[in-house]
Amino acid sequence: MSGPFYSLLPTLRPMKTIGILGGMSSESSIEYERIINKAVRERLGGVHSADLLIRSYDFAEIESLQEAGNWDAAGQLLAGDAARLEEAGADVIVLATNTMHKVARQIEDAIRIPFLHIADATADAVKAEGIEAIALLGTRYTMEQDFYRGRLTAHGLEVIVPGAGDRTFINDVIFNELVQGRIVEESKQRYLQIIERLHERGAEGVIAGCTEIELLVTPDDVDLPYFPTARIHALAAVEFALE
């Protein structure tokens, strides 16, 4: 494209374009967009909002791949769409979910632009508070597998996860309630009890390592330093876009 209008575009763009892989679930994607747009407006003022390109999935399709353990197919799907977001003009890719960072390497290999890893942004926030031992809540994949825990320990953090029964409960609430937009007070109280047990085991803070958990438990509910990963990740994307 050429012409006088397009020659002005670089001077009219106050920010880079953020490409979002979302819909995993739609509840968390809505939070990402809300946080990003609010932060951009606060930083730039006026009627500014974020420059976004979004690929939002039917989460039922993604969840079925998770349940079947078909991570390679899931990775190929997300990697292909990340490349398409890059082709459409994205300057950075953000994967709006913790669990699907299991396929982060496939996404990174498919693109030339930066990929902002949620665990890196979270680890930076935890270390900035001087915390060394951190509790991790999330889906069973996030709590039990090394793709996420290992990323945190590589940053020098000690990661403490709930016991087996508590992990099952946390996972079931995520998939049976939170991703469906259901907020149940009894589930919240059980989560808070789990966090207290983790504190007794030495956790100095807690990571809400599933973006939907932030819909159930807020920083005001917890006496420990609380790290809501969706917010941390979304704000990291804003920093990149406006730097």
CA dist., res. 115 & res. 105, Å (int): 10
Task: Establish whether 11 is a catalytic residue.
Answer: no
For residue 159, the SS3 value is: strand
- 97 catalytic? Reply is yes
Beta carbons of 210 and 139 less than 8 angstroms apart = yes
C-alpha distances (whole Å) from 151 to each of 21, 161, 215, 240 are 20, 14, 24, 21
The three-state DSSP-derived secondary structure of 75-143 is HHHHHHHHHHHHHHCCCEEEECCCHHHHHHHHHHHHCCCCEECHHHHHHHHHHHCCCCEEEEECCHHHH
Cα distances from 210 to residues 32, 86, 87, 196, 232, in angstroms, run 13, 26, 29, 18, 12
Provide the token pair at 26.
Answer: 């739609």
> One of 142, 210, 211, 229 is an active-site residue; which one?
210
Of the residues 17, 97, 142, 229, only one is catalytic, namely 97
8 Å CB contact between 127 and 104: no
Q: Which amino acid is at 9?
A: L
Is there a contact between 122 and 152 (Cβ–Cβ < 8 Å)? Answer: yes
Q: Tell me the catalytic residues.
A: 97, 210
